[in-house]
Amino acid sequence: MEATPNLWIIPLLPLAGAAINGFFGPREHKSSGQLPVASGQHGHTAGHGHEGSHDLPARGFVHSVAIGSVALAFLYAVYLFFTVTFEHPIVERVGTWIIAGKFDAGFSFYLDPLSMIMTLVVSGVGMLIHIYSAGYMAHEGGYYRYFCYLNLFTFFMLTLVLAGNYLLLFVGWEGVGLCSYLLIGFWFKKKSASDAGKKAFLVNRIGDFGFILALILMFGVAGSLDFEKVFAAVGRLGVEPVAGVLTAICLLLLVGATGKSAQIPLYVWLPDAMEGPTPVSALIHAATMVTAGVYMTARSALLFERAPVALSTVAVVGCLTALFAASIGLVQNDIKRVLAYSTVSQLGYMFLGCGVAAFSAGIFHLMTHAFFKALLFLGSGSVIHAMAGQQDMRHMGGLKSKISITYWTFFIGCLAIAGVPPFAGFFSKDEILWKAYSGGHTTLWGLGMLTAAMTAFYMFRLFFMTFHGEHRSEEASDAHESPPSMTGVLVTLAVLSIIGGLVGIPHAWGGENRIEKFLEPAFGVHETGLTPVALTEHVADVGTERLFSLWAVLAGIAGITLAWFLYVARPRLTEELAQSFSRIHKTLLNKYYVDEIYQTLIVNPLVSVSRSLLWQVVDVGVIDGAANGLAGSARGFGGWARRLQSGHIRSYATWVLLGAVFVLFFMGVLWAK
C-alpha cells in the first residue's frame, strides 16, 4: 500500500473547531440568550446594530475558528482529489477500537471515488454554509453553541463518509442524528422546536434499529464489518433469487436509510425539522445528513446487486416517496415547508436511481441536489431575513425589485431543480430517469416524469408567489437585501448549480460522462476482481435517450408554464380551484394526515402501554419490587438473626456447647470410617 494520506485529519479538523468553540466559546461570549431574537415565530431579526455589538470581536473568534477548520478540511480534500489515483481504494487504519473474539473493528478510513465525492460535497458545501451562517446568525444568542454544533456535525458527517467499516460509519450516522437533534432544537426554549428535535431523533432511532440488525447479520455473513472483507465475502456469493440473508441485510439497511434520508414511512421528521435555523436546514436537511442514506446504499452496492428483491424495494420506495412528497409540496404555504417536501421528493429520486442499479446516477443527483437545494434554502433564508421573520408565502410578493441578488440566484436554483438544461439538475435527474426506463422499469419512469413536472410546478409556484406580484404585506414592502457574507455564498452556489451538471453529460449528447467514469472503481471491478452482477441490462440507444431527455425538459417547462399561469397571470384562479377541489386540497395541505395517523396508531398506544404496563408493572412492580424485596428480606433476616445476640452469657455458653457437640460428632464420624 502506498503512503497513507492521513485521512483522519479531515474529520478531525472540524472536531477541533467544535472543541475550541465549545470550551472557549462561553468565555468569549457572555450574552448567549437562547430565545430567538426576533419577534414573531421564526428567529431572525431585521434590526442590525446594537444587539450584541459589544461582543463582535468574540463572534469573530468563534466563526473564524469554525469556518477555518472546515475550510482547511475542504482544501486538504481538494488536494487529495488532485493527487490520489483512484484505481484501488485506499484503506488507512489508525487504531484498534474493539476486539472481541472474532470481531475486530478499528478506526479505519477508506478513500475511493465515492467517498472522495462525498467528502468534497460535505466539506465544500459545509464551508459555504458556515460562511453564510456567520451573517445569518449575527444577531442571535448562543452564537458559539451554534458553531460548535455545526462543526461537530461536520466532524460526524466526514467520519460517516470516510469510514472504512460499517461500525465507524454507524458512529458517524448516530453522530449526525445527534447533531441534527441539537441543531433543530437550537432555540430549545420554544416548545415546537424542542418537540421537532425529539421527533427527528426518535424517528431516526427506529431506522437505526434496522441498521443495527443489518450490521449483526452482516457480521454473521462476512465475519467482519470492514468494507473490504464484507465486499470480498459477498462477492463470492451469487444472486439470491427470492429471499435470503442478503435480502434481509439489504432490507434492514433500507429501513435505516428511510429513517435517515426521510423516505416513506419515516420521513415525517423532516418537515418539522424546519424549526431549526435556516442554514441548518440547508446543510443538514438538504445537502448532507439526509444524503447519508443514499451514500450508504451506494456504498453497499455489491450487496444490493445480489438481492434483487431488496433492490426493487429501494426503487419503489424512492419513486413513491418522490411522488408523494411532491404532491404535498403543491399546496403548502410556508416557504421552508415546500423546500422540505421538495428535499424528500428529490431524495426519492436518488433512491430510485440506486434502485435501478444506476448508483453513479444517484450519487450524481446527490451532488447536484446539494448545490441547488442548499442554494434554495439559503435563498429562502435570505428572503426570511428580508421579511423580518415572516415565512408564509401568502404574505410575500413583489420582492424581485427589493432583493435582486437573492432573486436571481433563487431563479437559477429553481431552474436547476426543475430540470432545465444546461443547469445542474437536468443532467442528473435525466440520467436517473433514462436508466429507469432503459432498465425496463417503465412504470417507475412514468411516475418519475410526473413527479418532475410537479417539481417544476411547485418550485415555480413558490418562486412566483414570493418574488412576483404585489407586496402582500408590510414586511414585503420594507424588504432589504442581505449582507455580503450571505449573498456571496448564494452567488457561489448559483455558479455551482450552473456548471455542476457538466461533469455528467451523457454520451448521447456528446459528453464523456466523466462522473460515471470517475465512480466506476467504486461500483465496478474492485481489486479483488469481483464484478458487479448486472441485473438490468441498460439499453444503449442513443436516439431514444435523446428523445426521452427532450420529454423530460418538456415536462419541466409544462410545470413552469402552469405555475406562471396560475400565480402570475390569473392569481384568482387558484382560490377557485382550491374551492372546487376542496377535499383534495385539504388532504394535501394536511399532508395526508400522516402525522395524525401515526399519532393514533403508533404513538398513543405505545405511550399508554409504556405508562401502564412498562412503567407500573415492570419498572415499579418487578424491578423495584425485586430490589426492595431483596432489601426487605435482608432486613427481615437480619432482624431475626440479631436476636441471637441476647447479651446473656449463659445463652452464649450454651451455643458454644452446641458447637462443641457438633464438632465432636463429626470428628467421631470421621474416625469411625
Partner 1 sequence: MDKALFLLFATIAIVGAANLLRQRHPIYSALSLVAVMGALAALYLLLGAEFIAAVQVIVYAGAIMVLFIFTLMLLNVEEEAATGRSRMARYLGLPLLFLLLLQMVAMLRQEYPVTMVAQVGSHAADNVKQVGNLLFNQYVLPFEVTSVLILVAIMGAVVLARRKS
Partner 2 sequence: MVPISWYLVLSAILFVMGAAGFVFKRNIITVFMSIELMLNAVNLSFVAFSYLLRSVHAQVFVFFVMVVAAAEAAVGLAIIIRVYRNRQSLNVDDIDLMKF
Q: Which is nearer to partner 2, 547 or 656 (CB)?
A: 656
Q: Please report whether residue 671 would count as binding partner 2 according to CB under 8 A.
A: no
Q: At residue 456, what is the residue type?
A: A
Q: Which is nearer to partner 1, 216 or 667 (CB)?
A: 667
Nine cell digits for residue 79: 488536494
Residue selected from 1, 100, 649, 669 as contacting partner 2 according to rule CB under 8 A: 649
Residue selected from 626, 657, 663, 667 as contacting partner 2 according to rule CB under 8 A: 657
Q: Could you tell me the smallest distance in angstroms from the CB atom of residue 101 to partner 1?
A: 58
Q: What phi and psi, each to the nearest 5 degrees, are found at residue 145? A: -65, -40
Q: Could you tell me the smallest distance in angstroms from the CB atom of residue 26 to partner 2?
A: 57
Residue selected from 646, 659, 665, 666 as contacting partner 2 according to rule CB under 8 A: 646
Nine cell digits for residue 429: 435527474
Q: Identify the burial level of 237 via C-beta atoms within 10 angstroms of its C-beta, where 0-12 means exposed, 13-18 middle and 19 or more buried.
A: middle
In the beta sheet, which residues pair with residue 96?
A: 106
Q: At residue 349, what is the residue type?
A: Y
Q: Could you tell me the smallest distance in angstroms from the CB atom of residue 665 to partner 2?
A: 15
Nine cell digits for residue 557: 417547462
- By CB under 8 A, name the binding residues for partner 1: 646, 648, 650-651, 653-655, 657-658, 660-661, 664-665, 667-668, 671
Helix runs in 45-190, H state only: 56-83, 113-136, 143-162, 166-184
Q: Please report whether residue 572 would count as binding partner 2 according to CB under 8 A.
A: no
CA quadruple 293, 299, 303, 309: dihedral positive or negative?
positive
In the beta sheet, which residues pair with residue 226?
A: 165
Which of partner 1, partner 2, none is residue 101 near (CB under 5 to 8 Å by kind)? none
Q: Which is nearer to partner 2, 643 or 673 (CB)?
A: 643
Q: Could you tell me the smallest distance in angstroms from the CB atom of residue 629 to partner 1?
A: 32
Distance CA 436, CA 348 (A): 13
Distance CA 90, CA 252 (A): 28
Q: Which is nearer to partner 1, 565 or 655 (CB)?
A: 655
- Dmax (CA) for the chain in angstroms is 117
User: Cα dist. 342→271, 324, 593 in Å?
Assistant: 10, 10, 18
Helix runs in 238-334, H state only: 245-260, 269-272, 278-282, 292-299, 301-305, 308-329
Q: Could you tell me the smallest distance in angstroms from the CB atom of residue 638 to partner 1?
A: 20
Q: Could you tell me the smallest distance in angstroms from the CB atom of residue 671 to partner 2?
A: 16
Each residue 623-642 as x (binds partner 2 by CB under 8 A) or -, in order, gives -------------------x
Q: Please report whether residue 668 would count as binding partner 2 according to CB under 8 A.
A: no
Rounded to the nearest 10°, the torsion over CA 495, 403, 135, 43 is: -120
Q: Which is nearer to partner 2, 626 or 660 (CB)?
A: 660
Q: Please report whether residue 654 would count as binding partner 2 according to CB under 8 A.
A: yes
Q: Could you tell me the smallest distance in angstroms from the CB atom of residue 630 to partner 2?
A: 22
Residue selected from 101, 575, 645, 673 as contacting partner 2 according to rule CB under 8 A: 645
Number of residues that bind partner 2 (CB under 8 A): 11
Q: Site residues (CB under 8 A) for partner 2? A: 642-643, 645-650, 653-654, 657
